[in-house]
Chain A
Amino acid sequence: MAGPSWLAWTFASVVILVAGYCLTRLVASWRRHRPSDHRIDVIHVLMGVAMAGMLVPRLRVFWVGGWEVVFGMGAAWFGWLAIREFRGRPTVGGRPGHHLQHVLGCGAMLYMFLAAATVAKAAAGGSAMGGMAAGAAHFPTLALVLAVALFGYVVWTADRLSSLTPVAALAARSVPVPVLAGAGPGGGTSIVAAGGEGGHGTPGSDGQAPAGQARQAPLSPRLAACCEIAMGVTMGYMLILMI
């Protein structure tokens, strides 16, 4: 049992759009020296390509196998970052370890590919998602749990969306780093958490913001958060379809 093809195309278009946008972010960040979390942009590009191929087999323009390794490594990498973040700054923000969101995303992708592999033969000639659903994925309860957790992150991200000011993705805005006076711990923690929610609001992957220097504005944190939402909803749809 699979969803209608137009719906698969719709969701595939959404994730391709997200992947394309994140690719643009990577290029813009490199060309214009705009701060962005490259790790998250890269994983979104990979997820977008992989999910589009799962939703619509005709969109499998890249390799077919090996995605399990890619997302397994992604889950391990973001897991390591989450642990490091948790150990390093246990009191930052209301939710230590926002990388957990990406651990969950990579884990969901891994689950979907592993489940799809078990029914790939049954899906010969049909869509990958159709095959996955027809084969009744192993551990359907896990699929539901993953989907619910992803929706939790989606609403959490959407809640914080209004805290992020739109910043033109291609604007070459240079701003000075303000003097730190007045940046109290309370405000500081909330801001870091808000930027971290989208995963793109921090000034750079190294977390350095040298005072006194002019810095470029970060690539639109609000659009980046919207990418998280779009990816979460689509991934949740795919997981539910596998039940």
Chain B
Amino acid sequence: MASQAADARARAGWLRGIGAVHEESWTAPDVRRRLQLALAGIWLLDAVLQFQAFMFSRGFSQMLGATAAGNPAVIADPINWSAKIIAGHGTLTNAVFAFIQLAIGLGIAWRPTLKLALGASIVWALGVWWFGEGLGGVLNGAGGPANGAPGAVIIYALLAVLLWPGSRDRAAPFVAGRFTGANVARALWLVLWGSLAYLALLPATRAPKALGGMVSGMASGQPGWLSSVDNHLGAFLTSHGPATAVILAIVLALVAVSVCLPRPAARAGVVLAIVTAAFIWIAEGLGGMLTGGGTDPNSGPLLALVAVAYWPLASSALSATGQPNRIATTQPESPEGA
């Protein structure tokens, strides 16, 4: 073992000597950086899903156009306009969409372009939320927690803000509050999970057979195991839909308020949020990724990622470092604040 350690040091010194490695410019990823990398991975997955054959067909533009239904004219008209353009130039527009997402994913993963890519992801996500998801069905009453409301893509933008590598971090009991501050981050959490709780009580979810039909509809085209799970879950929800919607709303409301509670309760809230996100993801049929027609993994994994960013840190990680409003971390920070 001693000779192996010496060998490792020998190689390390050799590489440093020839300048093959910048010791100063790179540090091990901390929690926020790991979450940024997870976000980058999801963007990459989105990009490759966008390269699927279905996305180059007219079906894709029709899918986008369908999101206009029920929305106010000021929202729906631009959606219809963009859907027509995409229908007319399907190959070009879809290729551009896919390469933009690829660039965002790789840009977040590569440290020198982190801020640029996160900024681009916010702009892109807001555009897709409107033109691609019809604001997630929030305004037309069609959105529910089990069908991706308030829009999976808006959660990408939220994550980009929460994980933004600011030049000066603020004191916060969780990673998500290091850029915005704890209070703003708590408010964003309350809005996200509170809106999900509210949407669970709308007729689109609470009406008899609405939730069951929504989940059963996801089973089509899925592999056997997922189709079976969704069919069974759908059958259960068809007979217990309204009660389940109310329970779901209560759970989501508990998750929403847990961010304001003391650390043990807040941690329980985060765990509950992750479990709920997993349930939602199954109900969403994993975003249809296994059907050949899914554009993204839908909201389940993103909600879980948001929840991880709110995991309350140990008090030792919050001790002062000599700089005001700076959180001490167990690992060194990278120059990008990642």
Contact = CB atoms under 8 A, between A and B. Distances in A.
B267 interface: no
Nearest to A91: B5
A140 B223 contact: yes
Contacts of A45: none
A162 B16 contact: no
Interface in A68-102: 88-89, 92, 94
A105 to B, nearest CB: 16
Main SS of chain B's interface residues?
Answer: helix
A199 interface: no
A162 B15 contact: no
Contacts of B111: 159, 161-162
A160 to B, nearest CB: 7
Contacts of A4: 53, 56, 91
Contacts of B7: 207-209
Among B15, B41, B105, B109, which residue has the most Cβ atoms of chain A within 10 A? B15
B15 A201 contact: yes
B: contact size bracket:
35 or more
Interface string A119-152: 0000000000000010000001100100110011
A64 interface: no
Interface in B1-40: 4-23, 25-26, 28-29, 33, 37, 40
A194 B25 CA distance: 12
Contacts, number: 184
A88 to B, nearest CB: 6
Contacts of B100: none
Nearest to A35: B14
Contacts of B20: 164-165, 167, 195, 201, 217-218, 221
A12 B289 CA distance: 24
B311 to A, nearest CB: 20
Interface string B166-200: 00000000000000000000000000000000000
B48 A175 contact: no
Nearest to B110: A158
B51 A240 contact: yes
A233 interface: yes
B323 to A, nearest CB: 23
A170 interface: no
A158 B41 CA distance: 11
Contacts of B49: 240
Q: Give the one of A2, A155, A236 with max B CB within 10 A.
A: A155
B215 to A, nearest CB: 19
B52 interface: yes
Given A144-B290, A185-B9, A164 B41 contact: no
Contacts of B88: none
Contacts of B110: 158-159, 161-162
A241 B50 CA distance: 10
Interface stretch (A53-61, A109-117, A176-184): A176-184
Interface of B: 4-23, 25-26, 28-29, 33, 37, 40-41, 44-45, 48-49, 51-54, 56, 91, 95, 102, 105-106, 108-112, 223, 225-226, 289-292
